[in-house]
Amino acid sequence: MLKKITLLSVLSTLTYIGTSTANANTLSELNKCSVVKDSLERLVCYDELVKKVNLGSLPQPRAQQKSSSSVPASINTVNTKKSVVDDFGKEHIRNRVEPDVVDNVNFVIAKVEKNKSGKWLITFVNGQQWKQIDSTTLRLKAGQEVELKKGVLGAFFLKRLDAKKRLRVKRLK
């Protein structure tokens, strides 16, 4: 037990000495950055120093380089990030000027029958078949003109032109 305590105290002392040496190097690097006259170069110097400290490595003396090459690269990165963020979820936004989109259609009923559960099975003159999927009651007969309308989230509704009620329907054929 005594050996473990001694070993831990030696390791903590060595860690403290290494940290204080790193702090001294960091302070000297800060002083070097504060001497730089050009404000943009001084900012770049401080930024590089912060990156090195955050990564845990000791700061190395910085080589002289043009700061103009590093600034446009960061601007391009920001622009691409903004465009990606701006386009997120945009594929679901409907374009307001879509002439080809049809929201409702009028059909003439060719055949109407009820299934075992009492819901309508409707066949139109053009051959399409639709079935009722809700429990709303509505009187339908062959030869009537009805309107099929698109709803939200892929729903379709069938409505008689002379009535206010509507049925929720699903296309079979």
pTM above 0.75, yes or no: no
Neighbouring residues of 87: CB distance < 8 A, sequence distance ≥ 6:
none
**What's the confidence (pLDDT) of residue 165?**
92
CB atoms within 10 A of CB 158: 22
Reply yes or no on whether the pLDDT at 121 is more than 90: yes
What are the angstrom distances between the C-alpha of 55 and each of 23, 48, 59, 67?
14, 11, 10, 22
Tokens 């409702």 belong to which residue? 104
Arithmetic mean of pLDDT, 141-147: 92
Domain definitions of the chain by residue range: 1-62, 104-171
d(CA 87, CA 169): 34
- Give the lowest-confidence range in 88-92, 96-100, 107-111: 96-100
d(CA 124, CA 4): 89
Neighbouring residues of 113: CB distance < 8 A, sequence distance ≥ 6:
120, 121
- Give the lowest-confidence range in 21-35, 61-75, 123-137, 150-164: 61-75
DSSP label of 125: T
